[in-house]
Structure 1
Amino acid sequence: MAGPVIVLDRYYLGITVLTTIGYQLLGFAIAWTFQFDKITDFTGGSNFFILALLTLLLGQEFSARNIVASVLVMVWAARLAGFLLFRVLQFGSDSRFDDIRSHFFKFLGFWVAQIVWVWTCSLPVVVLNSPGVTKHGQPSFGTASDILGIVIWAIGWSIESVADVQKFRHKTSKAPKDKPIDVGLWNWSRHPPYFGEILCWWGIWTLSIAPSVQGYLSGSARSAQLGTLVSPLFTMVVLLFGSGVPTAEKPVAQKFHAMSYPADTHPQHAPHSAAWANYQAYRAQTSILLPVPPGLYRALPTWVKRWVLLDLPMYEWTPAEGKE
């Protein structure tokens, strides 16, 4: 079997995209038929696990680097899929899908986007495990890029995991509803899970490229492996400009403003609660993504917050915007 695979799909791009399409469309068919959210996020997370394990077993390259890279992806995927499944089972449904769950093509569009996300982000481990790379050999495990990649991944995974638990506990506690979550990592970042996820995929990519960095690959093999840089870059673009921070920031601002100024209340009247003031104070002292101590963040110049820490104007929402 190895011969035809090497000739037709030597970087496992074909088999992984077909596997991802098949798995996601199966998940869509189930979710659409029964109109529920129980498997939507679980299908996305578990797909990463499947691709890492599938390519590791197909490639039959069980060197330390391939095993470690594949296991790290599987650990990340298992935690994400398991946590998201647990969360949706606790709350019964996911409000993100309320407006699209009953619309066939809108709901399908989400699953198509999930196909692109899973396949693109999985590329570093997929290509590392592929015969197009493994046939050239690779350096012994323990290079600088190996160690750096594992450290980056470990920091990112820890941040993402802890932040998810902290937010879940906050939501299920009797914490004041008119105050944003400001416990633990959420006191230093408004979106610590996104920051952790970005680090995880930079770590996986850094770990995976040792064969290219050490000169074991050349030509198309080296290009293919270095080209997997699209994985961490894609993760950053999606979380910073797509379905991550932009879709989370403005709805939160609108929610806290509505608590203080219900629709039937004139903006000039005294607020019903301090929710809007609490949110503005939290936003003024809390970094958008990179964890920064609140005291330090408040003291930073606006240009540093904007163009270094990426708290961009596109994330802001004002009451005037809600009247348009």
Structure 2
Amino acid sequence: MSPANVLDRYYLAITFLVTTGYQLLGFAIAWTFQFDKITDFTGGSNFFILALLTLCLGNTYNARNIVASVFVMVWATRLAGFLLFRVLKTGSDTRFDDIRSHFFKFLAFWVGQIIWVWTASLPLIILNSPSVSAHSQPAFGTSKDITGIVLWSLGWAIESIADFQKFAHKSTKPPKDIPIQYGLWKYSRHPPYFGEILLWWGLWILTISPSTNNVGDLPQSTKSAQFGSVVGPLLTMIILIFGSGLPTAEKPTAKKFYEMSKDPEYPNAWTNYQEYLARTSILVPLPPSLYSRLPQFVKWGLGDWNIWKYEPEKDGQDV
């Protein structure tokens, strides 16, 4: 059977409409009941819906389309399930404490989630669309396919293991004045972010494989669309580095340890945290013995910038 043409040959309109409708429904429920139980779950599950929808509409069940679609569905299922479990355990998400009761501020988060889900899904959306599936492609197993699979698998493993290790570590009730240095967290301050960035770049490489080979008859417009879908992994990387990732974790965590050090019970909290920063890479996992010896300009190249650093006298209560 041939692929179904729905609104446009790239499936851009139908996937945007589905994403918008699903997220606005989630917002309506979250706003009405003033809770956070479905916020992250709605984001993760939306990826699953788009992957399954475009695979079925595209009706092209070759190995590349199936593998790429399954990758997204596996990632979405694990992430949505984990985040739902976590928020059910904690009862609420502190990120929304200041905006949950403000209609437009809360809505802005959900609009941002619409943009992220749809944009990050673009590589897979275009791969499954008639613009690609209606044309012949190189056989699955090219060097680009293998590279994409390896990167995705490594990224997914890092993200999944790091989330589990942090949850397991917290369940042991460790000392409050010592930062987590268990498992992958010994080598990176934010291994889940690194893993997520890596897996989305791996998926993009896998999805553009048809456009990087001389085999097949893809038109230039389709090749341009596939290469243009690089905005997907780029946006995810930007969000994690400059948006809801590092900025919401670095300074607040540092402030917590600084404030804790004022408590007579935890006088070494700030010193422990400073030592932790000096030997632990901010994003890319590296052995502490190596990272601690790197010159500052190399650490800057790895993303450890001053904008993340908490300075008590300067930042005060603004974090």
TM-score of the two chains, using structure 1 as the length reference: 0.94
1:109 equivalenced with 2:108 (yes/no): yes
After superposition, where does 1:207-222 map in structure 2 within 5 Å? 207-215=206-214, 216=216, 217-222=218-223
Alignment of 1:1-324 (within 5 A): 5=5, 8-215=7-214, 216=216, 217-261=218-262, 273-307=267-301, 309-323=302-316
Q: Which moved more, 1:166-175 or 1:41-50?
A: 166-175
| 8 Å contact kept, 1:31–1:39 | yes
CA drift at 1:112: 0.5
Task: For residue 271 of structure 1, report the CA deviation from its aligned partner.
Answer: 8.8
**TM-superposition CA deviations, 1:163-221 (whole Å, max 9, x none):** 00111112222100111111010010000000000011001101111110113323211
The one-letter code of the counterpart of 1:240 is I
Tell me which moved more, 146-155 or 133-142: 133-142
Q: Which amino acid aligns with 2:5?
A: V
Partner in structure 2 of residue 265 of structure 1: none
Q: The residue matched to 1:176 in structure 2 has which SS?
A: coil
The answer as to whether partners of 1:256 and 1:279 remain within 8 angstroms in 2 is yes
Alpha carbons of structure 1 residues 4 and 91: separation in structure 2 relative to 1, 3 Å: closer
8 Å CA contact retained: 2:4, 2:59:
no
Residue 113 of structure 2 aligns with an amino acid whose one-letter code is Q
**RMSD (Å), alpha carbons:** 1.6
Paired residues of 1:212 and 1:218 also in contact (CA < 8 A): no
C-alpha distance in 2 between matches for 1:102 and 1:168: 29
Code of the aligned partner of 1:285: R
Distance 1:84 1:139 in 2: 38
- Inter-partner Cα distance in structure 1 for 2:249 and 2:169: 17
**For the Cα contact (< 8 Å) 2:200–2:233, is it kept in 1?**
yes
Alpha-carbon deviations, 1:7-27, whole Å to 9, x = none? Answer: x41000000000000000000
Q: Secondary structure at the match of 2:127?
A: helix
* Whole-Å separation in 1 of the counterparts to 2:265 and 2:310: 18
For the residues of structure 2 that align with 1:241 and 1:91, how far apart are their CA atoms?
A: 26
Whole-angstrom distance in 2 between the partners of 1:248 and 1:174: 20
**1:261 to partner: Cα distance:** 2.5
Distance in 2 separating the partners of 1:34 and 1:4: 38
CA contact (8 A) 1:260 1:272 kept: yes
Say if 1:11 and 1:132, in contact at 8 Å, map to a contact too. yes
* Identical pairs, percent: 66
Once residues 158 and 4 of structure 1 are traced to their aligned partners in structure 2, the CA distance between those partners, rounded to angstroms, is: 34
Unaligned 5+ runs, structure 1: 263-269
Q: Could you tell me how far apart the structure 2 residues matched to 1:174 and 1:242 are?
A: 29
Tell me how far 1:313 sits from its aligned partner. 1.3
AA in 2 matched with 1:225: Q
- Aligned-pair CA distance for 1:142: 0.5
Q: TM-score, normalised by structure 2?
A: 0.95
Match of 1:9, SS state, is: coil
**In structure 2, how many angstroms separate the alpha carbons of the residues matched to 1:123 and 1:131?**
14
Secondary structure of the residue that 2:310 maps to in structure 1? Answer: coil
| CA deviations over 1:19-60 (Å, ceiling 9, x no partner) | 000000000000110111110000000000000000000010
The 3-state SS of whatever aligns with 1:281 is: helix
Q: After superposition, what is the alpha-carbon deviation per residue over 1:66-94, rounded to whole angstroms, capped at 9, x for unaligned?
A: 00000000000000000000101111111
Which ranges in structure 2 are unaligned for 5 or more consecutive residues? none
Equivalent-residue separation in structure 2 for 1:98 and 1:89 (angstroms): 16
